[in-house]
Amino acid sequence: MYLVVGLGNPEKKYFNTFHNMGFMVVDRLAEKLNVTFTKGECRAVCAHAKVNGEKVIIAKPVTYMNLSGEAVQELTHKYKIEKGNLIVVYDDIDVNVGKLRIRVNGSAGTHNGMKNIVQMLSTDDFPRVRVGIGQQTPMALVDYVLSQVTDDDHKVLDPVLDQAAQALYDFVNGCDIDHVMQKYNIR
């Protein structure tokens, strides 16, 4: 069983912001798997799929970004998810726009949602997919990540969001995370 978690903020005003890259990627994964987010559970809205006989839960926490760990902790306990079968996708200010970084584990960096997940799970030993949003304008970090993604930004980001969704698909389809990293990490 796999748990794929996209990070973002649930209100409509946040849907097209840089901080909702995780939601955008898992929306694309759900579309690829032909499932919809209809089930509310563990403070997340979830979609359930089967891939090669394995159950896949795709989740978007509704706790807001900085408390994402609460939903992730509840889901991992409810479904008894093994640490290698949880993967989290989120925006990363420290990665350039148009770049994708997949890691087996590691620190949360500057991302508050990931900090909360690491804190709630008491481990940073789980795979993650980081979508680069590298700050391009001189404004406060919170203002930047909550700003609207422009059409020009989408021209750069949409192919990366598609690649991230495909990487998640490969992962839940049984591909080893090292293979996924080699295939999709964009240099």
Among residues 82, 66, 88, which one has the least CA distance to residue 4? Answer: 88
Determine the Cα–Cα distance for residues 132 and 97; give it in Å rounded to an integer.
5
Determine the Cα–Cα distance for residues 62 and 6; give it in Å rounded to an integer.
11
Residue 19 a catalytic site member = yes
Report DSSP letters for 108-158, one per residue.
-TT-HHHHHHHHHHT---S-EEEEE----SSS-HHHHHTSBPPHHHHHHHH
| Residues recognised as catalytic | 19
